[in-house]
Structure 1
């Protein structure tokens, strides 16, 4: 059982989401405002947060930014805004995923399940390596931690998955669509999701994010991870 915090000022939305998530065996916490959500988050430390973008008291972006600064909790953003720029802003503030309103409760439940599975610090039977290294970068796949030059990096679940996938396939270029399918398990989706996560990863693993040497752009193709040396 996982503890999931659902944050939305619409009580009907919270009720529907609670019902679907409870059927999956999750414990559901609820909040209708930003301050209430932050208080519950700090007291209960949920495994995942379903967060509405528009909230009274403080908007979802501000709340996401605060939670991301304090933890690596998984965040799925709910937004009634369909513009790509609005979705990108949410991802840039640390959200792992997003669902556009009006949404299918079944789709949201599936997104929750997949994100929770990826956040679990367990070793699968076919896990090829427990530790991935590249120079001063060390990835522990069991604990889902990353250290650079001895210092821990605060990566979100999706950032961790993307980095681990790319370093395992170092030297191979992938399109954004291929990364959506193989890292996010999405058969469809917004390619800008990958772009934002690559940008966030570069800010954490590169010496100079404006001139990346590890996570490089392959023009006309996508992205490739180059090991040091």
Structure 2
């Protein structure tokens, strides 16, 4: 796997590079945002590990830039303990985050968790799910979504959340259940992580995110997919 690692601390880059290459990965290293975007555009990158604080542009800006055209998995590195800073990155499309300091083993485990989700998406048989008279079409096998005639770019986390709920219409999922299903881990992260991804998802697929048709909030309980399949075609 080709992994782009972006951090302005050379010592961190050296440690991550040594550990990931020992696991058989090809690793591209960048110490600033401009270099990171150049490496991403010039190479086939399968995964990005991105520090929020960089000397030229922030990791948030890089994440937002990449998300305009790509759903490549992104894990943020952050030394910040402020919940708002973490949520900002997730709202811009990051799939996960790790707080510094962290061990290389933890990073590798997080990468593997995200990739299991990607592999699971690839294994789903070819079909399309149609909702709301064709205004929402989900292609599980291709990780593609069309909403109101436009192709929508979703992150892996956003797509997994949509797939989980759309495959069980009207079923209410708690935040803890969604976090566990998406990450494959115990729900130890912030509850608002799920809220942040849901907000992003609504902004992308709903005609009016303030009055969602597809992803409904069930107050005190969680979320549910509000419409049923019209047809599934293989």
**TM-score scaled to structure 1, two decimals?**
0.93
Q: Which residue of 2 aligns with 1:93?
A: 92
The answer (yes or no) to whether the contact 2:19–2:104 under 8 Å persists in 1 is yes
Per-residue CA deviation, residues 155-179 of structure 1 (Å, 9 max, x unaligned), is 1111111100100111111111111
Cα distance in 2 for residues equivalent to 1:90 and 1:59 = 10
Q: Which residue of 1 aligns with 2:9?
A: 10
Per-residue CA deviation, residues 91-127 of structure 1 (Å, 9 max, x unaligned), is 1111111000011221111111121232348643xx4
Q: Which residue of 2 aligns with 1:130?
A: 127
Does 2:220 match 1:227? no
Q: Which residue of 1 aligns with 2:50?
A: 51
Cα distance in 2 for residues equivalent to 1:198 and 1:122 = 19
Q: Which residue of 1 aligns with 2:23?
A: 24
Q: Which residue of 1 aligns with 2:165?
A: 166
Distance apart, 1:25 and its partner CA = 1.9
Cα distance in 1 for residues equivalent to 2:95 and 2:45 = 15
Does 2:194 match 1:197? no
Cα distance in 1 for residues equivalent to 2:226 and 2:2 = 38
SS in 1 for 2:170: coil
Q: Which residue of 2 aligns with 1:41?
A: 40
Q: Which residue of 1 aligns with 2:140?
A: 141
Q: How many residues align?
A: 226
Distance apart, 1:128 and its partner CA = 7.2
Q: Which runs of 5+ in 1 are unaligned?
A: none
Cα distance in 1 for residues equivalent to 2:137 and 2:23 = 35
Cα distance in 2 for residues equivalent to 1:55 and 1:121 = 33
SS in 1 for 2:106: helix
- Displacement over 6 Å in runs of 4+: none
Q: Which residue of 2 aligns with 1:69?
A: 68
Distance apart, 1:24 and its partner CA = 2.7
Cα distance in 2 for residues equivalent to 1:190 and 1:24 = 30
Q: Which has the higher contact order (CA 8 A, sep 6+)?
A: 2
Over the residues paired in the alignment, what is the CA RMSD in angstroms? Answer: 1.7
Q: Which runs of 5+ in 2 are unaligned?
A: none
